[in-house]
Amino acid sequence: MLVTGNDILIPARAGQYGVGSFNTNNMEITQAIIHTAERLRSPVMVQMSEGAIKYGGQDLANIVIDLARRATVPVALHLDHGSSYESALKAIKMGFTSVMIDASHHGFEDNVKETRRVVEAAHAMGISVESELGRLGGIEEHIVVDEKDAFLTDPEEAVQFIEQTGTDYLAIAIGTSHGAFKGKGRPYIDHARIEKIASLTSIPLVAHGSSGVPQEIVERFRAAGGQIGDAAGIADEDLQRATGFGIAKVNVDTDLRLASTVGIREALTANPKEFDPRKIFGPAREVMSQVIEHKMRVLGSVGKA
Ligand code: G3H
Ligand code: 13P
Ligand code: NA
Ligand code: ZN
């Protein structure tokens, strides 16, 4: 069933588990996400960025909405990193049931103002809203506290922000960053900060940049002719711990990008004479499903629907 973000995330925060919010850009990614969720009885969020809307438009949104309506588990369609009020409203008109307004690059007051506008409009239509406070970006373990505080989310500010905006869930900067290169070895994640923010708030918290970049997938990518440097993601144990503290929405894009390319590369390398798209995109869908299953098990959402 197609539901709002709140329908999925409020129980997740209360139950101390995480729900994957996976980026989609085509039918195969969407099927992998929603069919895996059904197989594992897990709630799930499917998100489209503004780039995904540019690429797939209403056609892609309709694929997600149709699969979600027919799904036997709760599914929300979410706008990832909406850059303006207009963008959020456009997504709502397209049928999204959850939107993010990302005004985190503005100062506190302007972030509050822009977020509040979106919250007022979205709530009038029964749609829930994610906003962001703090700046995403990889940081090193040894960096001094003062420097960390400059861009990681300040707990007291988070309380003020939630009060002043009425946001339904809040993305916090805790050391993660987007992409396949989150730092060497085990990328830093500020557990103490999550715990502190969670202790002062009750709404679901969101972690962006949560791909694990599994080494097995990276090695298969290389073995099938792909080129990639020192790739690293968030360790499974770190993510699991974060969900125990109050991280309820866990954004994953990079892992599915890698998995789909591994499936395509392996199919093409193994069968140079193949040109049936189903024999190429089918394996991509299968590898993505495996990666999604792993993530849902780590987050603890399996069996919650
Ligand atoms: O946070 C960004 C997501 O990975 C979406 O990326 O804007 O290239 O679709 P995109
Ligand atoms: P990853 O790059 O770690 O997959 O993060 C995706 C994300 O945060 C989308 O909003
Ligand atoms: Na998002
Ligand atoms: Zn993000």
pLDDT, tens digit (0-9, with 9 covering 90-100), for 73-114: 999 999 999 999 999 999 999 999 999 999 999 999 999 999
Mean pLDDT across the chain, nearest whole number? 96
* Pairing, β 247-252 against β 98-101: unpaired
CA angle 268, 252, 28 (to 5 degrees): 40
* Amino acid 36: pLDDT: 99
Rounded-to-5 percentages of helix, strand, coil across the chain:
50, 15, 35
Output 150 or 182, whichever has higher pLDDT: 182
Mean pLDDT of 180-198: 92
Residue nearest to atom 1 of ligand 2 (CA): 209
* Amino acid 296: pLDDT: 99
Sorting pLDDT into bands at 50, 70 and 90, what band is 261? very high
Domains within the chain, CATH numbers bracketed: 5-299 (3.20.20.70)
Pull the structure tokens for residue 169: 């869930």
* Amino acid 150: pLDDT: 73
Instruction: Cite the beta strand spans of the chain per DSSP E.
Output: 19-23, 44-49, 75-82, 98-101, 128-133, 169-172, 205-207, 247-252
* Amino acid 146: pLDDT: 72
Asked if 31 contacts 256 with a C-beta cutoff of 8 angstroms, the reply is no
Residue nearest to atom 3 of ligand 2 (CA): 209
* Amino acid 30: pLDDT: 99
* Amino acid 140: pLDDT: 67
Q: Which of 49, 176, 210 to mutate to test the pocket of ligand 1 (most atoms within 8 A of CB)?
A: 49
Residue 146 annotated in ligand binding: no
How far, in Å, from the CA of 142 to the mean position of ligand 2?
A: 24
Name every protein residue with a CB atom under 6 angstroms from any ligand 2 atom. Answer: 23, 80-81, 178-179, 208-211, 251-255
pLDDT at 294 over 80: yes
Mean pLDDT of 163-191: 93
Q: What is the rounded CA–CA span in Å between residue 284 and residue 58?
A: 23
Instruction: Quickly count: other Cβ atoms within 10 Å of residue 109's Cβ.
Output: 9
pLDDT at 273 over 90: yes
Q: Is the confidence metric ipTM above 0.90 for this complex?
A: yes
Asked if 191 contacts 242 with a C-beta cutoff of 8 angstroms, the reply is yes
Output 138 or 21, whichever has higher pLDDT: 21
Q: Name the pTM for this structure.
A: 0.97
* Amino acid 145: pLDDT: 72
How far, in Å, from the CA of 251 to the mean position of ligand 2?
A: 5
* Amino acid 137: pLDDT: 74
Question: Which numbered atom of ligand 1 lies nearest the CA of 25?
Answer: 9
| Backbone angles phi and psi of 269, in degrees to 5 | -70, -40
Mean pLDDT of 46-59: 98
Residue nearest to atom 6 of ligand 1 (CA): 49
Task: Tell me which residues have their CB within 5 A of the ion that is ligand 3.
Answer: 80, 100
Output 140 or 136, whichever has higher pLDDT: 136
* Amino acid 185: pLDDT: 80
The per-residue pLDDT for range 14-50, each reduced to its tens digit, is 999 999 999 999 999 999 999 999 999 999 999 999 9
Q: List residues with catalytic annotation.
A: 80
Asked if 260 contacts 291 with a C-beta cutoff of 8 angstroms, the reply is no
Mean pLDDT of 239-249: 97
Pull the structure tokens for residue 171: 């993305």
CA angle 252, 255, 260 (to 5 degrees): 125
pLDDT at 141 over 90: no
Mean pLDDT of 280-305: 98
Q: Which ligand places an atom closest to the C-alpha of 77?
A: 3
Mean pLDDT of 240-244: 97
